[in-house]
Amino acid sequence: MEKIKVGIIGATGYAGEEIVRLLHNHPQAEIVTLASRSYVGQPYSNVYPNHKSLTDMLCAEEDMEALSKEADVIFLALPHGLASEKVTEEVLNNCKIIDLGADFRLKDVNVYEKWYKVEHHGKKLLEEAVYGLCEWNREDIKKCRLLANPGCYTTCSILSLSPLVAEGMIDISSIIIDAKSGVSGAGRSVKLDNHFAEVNESIKAYGVGSHRHTPEIEEQLGYRAGEELTLTFTPHLVPMQRGILAVCYATLKEKYTWEDVNAAYQKYYGNEPFVRLMAQGAYPETRWVKGSNFCDIGWKVDSRTNRIIVIGAIDNLVKGAAGQAVQNMNLMFGLPENTGLDLIPMFP
C-alpha cells in the first residue's frame, strides 16, 4: 500500500503538533505539508525544537485548494468558524478532510450559531459530515470523506456515559458532568487566563452553564437514548498541562449492582482497543493516560442515593484531539485503527 499523503493546516498549534508527533512513527503516513499562518518559511523544528532532526520541513502558506490536489487527507487544526469557510465540495472531491474544530460536529446549524456566535458557511456539508467517535460510529467513519473530530471534553463525557444511556439504565434528565482540564486544552495562543501565575495553585470553573461542548454532548448522548436530552455540564481549569477527568453523575432507574453496570460496559467496550475499563474499586487518573490514546473508565454505584458516579480520563491532546484524529484516519483508509497509536502512557 502506498503511503497516505497528509497535509496539516494549523500545524503549529498544540493539536497540530501532536498530529505531527504521532505521524512521525506512523508506518503508512507521509506528511507533505505543514501549514501555519504565523511561521511561514520557518523550519518546523524551530517552532518546536523537540522535532529537531526529525521534522525540519519548512512551514508553508495555507492553500487549501492546492493542498487538496496533493494530499490524500487534510487535518484541520483551526479555531472554530474557519473550517466551514475552507471546506468546499471541490476540496472534498480531491481529498478527505478531518476537522479537529467544531464546525461540523453539530447537525443543527442554528444550535451551532447560537453556541459559537459565528455564521456557519458550510451548511450544505453538515448532513454529510460524520461525527468521529470511533467506538460508536466506526462503520460510517470508514465510508466518509468529511469527518468531524469530537472535542476533548465531549469525547471523555460521551464515552463515559454512552453505555448507560444506550441500555436505558439511567434517568437521562438527571445527568450532571463535572469535568477538569489541563491548560493545553485552551490552545497555544497567548491568553491572560492561561499564564502560569494565573493558573498555578488554583482551580476554577468556567463556561458555567454556557460551555460550547454542552450541545455536542447532549446531541450525541441523545442519539444513544433515542430522544433529545438536556444535562448540566461544568468544566474546570486545573494547573496541569494535559488531561481531562470527567466525573459524571446520574440517577439509576433500578437497583443495579456494580456487576450489572460492568455487563453494560463490557457489551460496548469489551473489545475496544482504546477504552480501558477499571476493576471494581479502582478509578481513572489523568497521569495513567498521559501521552496515549486511551480512555480509562471506572464507576461506583452509590446504593445510598441510587445514583451512579462514572469517571473517565483521557489525554486531551491525544484521545481528545490528535490521537482520535489519527484513529479516524486509519479507519477512513482501511488500516487497523491502532496503527501508529500503540503508545504506552507516559509516566511520570
Nearest to 151 by CA among 322, 337, 312, 338: 322
DSSP 114-159: HHH-S--S-HHHHTT-EE--HHHHHHHHHH-SEEEPPPHHHHHHHH
Which residues, in sequence order, are bridge partners of residue 75?
A: 8, 98
Look up 152 and say whether it is catalytic.
Answer: yes
User: How is residue 63 written as a grid cell?
Assistant: 492553500
- Put residue 180 in one of left, alpha, beta given phi > 0 → left and psi -120 to 50 → alpha: beta
Residue 274 has what DSSP assignment?
A: T
212's CB contacts (< 8 A; 6+ apart) are 80, 102, 115, 116
Phi, psi of 23 (to 5 degrees): -75, -15
Which residues, in sequence order, are bridge partners of residue 97?
A: 74, 146
Length of the chain, in residues? 348
Contact 313, 291 (CB under 8 A): no
Q: Which of 59, 144, 152, 295 is catalytic?
A: 152
**What b/e readout covers 33-54, taking b as 16+ CB neighbours within 10 angstroms?**
bbbbeebeeebbeebbeebeee
User: How is residue 290 written as a grid cell?
Assistant: 498521559
User: How is residue 132 written as a grid cell?
Assistant: 468521529
Contact 101, 154 (CB under 8 A): no
Q: Which residues are catalytic?
A: 152
